[in-house]
Structure 1
Amino acid sequence: MTAIWPTVHAERIALADDLEALTPEQWATPSLCSGWDVHDVVAHLIATAKITPWSFIKHFAAAGFDFDKANANEVSDERKGSPAETLSSFRAVQFRTSSPPAPKDTRLVEAFVHGEDIRRPLGIVRDYPAAAVVRALALQARTSVAVGGGKGLIAGLTLTATDAEFIHGTGPTVEGSAISLLMAVSGRRTALADLSGPGKPVLEARYPARAGD
């Protein structure tokens, strides 16, 4: 747990620095999260930085126990009138250590995946810490699709990272960088372009029901 938060904080700082240089038009760029632009994803990151076990339960119940509706409500609450205001709010929560009632490694998933949800459409490249990305990838590989993971998506396949020590599963191999594997396992179709191996067509064929979020 103690190793997670410094990484999450560093990722929030780096993302805020990247956002600082964006134009208002770039803030309106569609992200890799279906239906959300860059501004929406940042608002979501503010909400998840603030969340506690109690507030998670309260917001989830208020949304009728619908994850998508709960997320949409939180984005609406945290999205400010201008990108500058939203960025200021994001910087204000960058050192928080609160979390929903879930494994703490989900905070790494949140930081890396949503960081890429924003950066990839904008052509921004970041060199993520490999060991932490592998930790996030390992969690997503064993987490059900129903709660945002990719266990069913990669069943019967072997994932192999080409830039880190990570091999998971059995069956035809899908290989690529750890961050691209993480994005693919998290349901981001665009990451498939970065992958290769005999298992790639199998993985690709499973995507129609998981195109985006």
Structure 2
Amino acid sequence: MTVTTDAAFLWAATHVERAALAGDLAALTPDRWAAPSLCGDWSVEEVVAHLTAAASIGRWRWIASMIGARFDPAVHNARRLAEHRGATPAETLERFRAVATSSVAPSGHTAAWLGEVVVHAEDIRRPLGLVRTPPVAATTEVARFFAARDFTVDSRRLVAGLRLEATDGPFATGDGPLVTGPTLALIMVMAGRPAHLDDLDGPGVSTLRGRLAG
């Protein structure tokens, strides 16, 4: 399985997805900014602030932040989220828009940072009833990266011993009981989001459901 290292393509796709999310956020009322997302205990606004933080911190600042947090990712994320959250949702949105074309990242794993935007945008959209399917060329590269290694999530471990096949694109990997579905749904489940299990089919879905529940 080949994971692209074409940084230009991956960053361009990242910028497109940030712009699309900013467009969706512009129409939200304040109460919807406070709505829960699919990302743990974070609200919609907190996820947006997290995305701004991720697009604003390079390798050395990330290392310094992690040292300051005693290598606890939760502490690091909470501090950087607070740094980039605005006084109002409108200010939070403006800060996110300001980094929409940023190519800053803590590491050179560009597919992971595209995945960060794809996953967190869906974390926001799904609970709000908003729908966007990113281009399959972009989601395919994220799916390949997630299936190939554990990075910020234990995606590879989660799908070990299963055969994954996208129904809307070329992504396919693994051996074992079959799991099929849209590439975006496969990504979200690999990222640990059980809400997307109902978008998948095949005998391997029950295995994924059990692993996520555990």
Same-fold call, TM > 0.5? yes
Is the deviation greater in 136-145 or in 189-198? 136-145
Name 2:35's counterpart in structure 1. 29
Aligned CA RMSD, in angstroms, stands at 1.0
Which of 198, 207, 211 aligns to 2:203? It is 198
Runs of 4+ in 1 over 6 A off after TM superposition: none
AA matched with 1:53: R
Which structure 2 residue ranges, 5 or more long, are not aligned? Answer: 1-6
Residue of structure 2 in register with 1:59 after alignment = 65
Write out aligned runs for 1:19-168 (5 A). 19-144=25-150, 147-168=152-173
**Mapped partners of 2:160, 2:122: distance in 1:** 24
Q: Please state if 1:12 is matched with 2:28.
A: no
SS of equivalent to 1:96: coil
Q: CA deviation at 1:102?
A: 4.4
Gaps of 5+ in 1: none
Helix, strand or coil at the partner of 1:160 = strand
Q: Is the CA contact (8 Å cut-off) linking 1:142 and 1:149 kept in structure 2? A: no
1:127 deviates by 2.4
TM-score (norm 1): 0.95
% of aligned pairs identical? Answer: 44
TM superposition shift of 1:30: 0.3
One-letter amino acid matched to 1:38: V
The alpha-carbon deviation at position 31 of structure 1 amounts to 0.3
Following the alignment from structure 1 to structure 2, what is the Cα–Cα distance between the partners of residues 163 and 176? Answer: 8
CA shift in 2, pair 1:208/1:127, >3 Å: closer
- What do the CA deviations read for 1:137-157 (whole angstroms, capped 9, x no partner)? 111112227x31411111100
Output one character per residue of 1:23-55: Cα deviation in whole Å (capped at 9) or x when no partner. 000001100001100000000000001010111
Query: What is the deviation of 1:113?
Result: 0.3
By how many angstroms is 1:103 displaced? 1.1
Partner in structure 1 of residue 4 of structure 2? none
Structure 1 residue 177 and structure 2 residue 185: aligned?
Answer: no
SS of residue paired to 1:207: helix
Q: Deviations over 1:33-79 (max 9, x none)?
A: 01100000000000001010111101111111011111111111111
Q: Which moved more, 1:136-145 or 1:57-66?
A: 136-145
Letter in 2 for 1:86: T
Aligned residue pairs, count: 208
Name the CA shift for 1:102/1:67 in 2 (closer, same or farther; >3 Å). farther
SS of alignment partner, residue 206 of structure 1? helix
After superposition, what is the alpha-carbon deviation per residue over 1:64-105, rounded to whole angstroms, capped at 9, x for unaligned?
101111111111111111100000111111111111124111
CA displacement at 1:208 relative to structure 2: 2.4
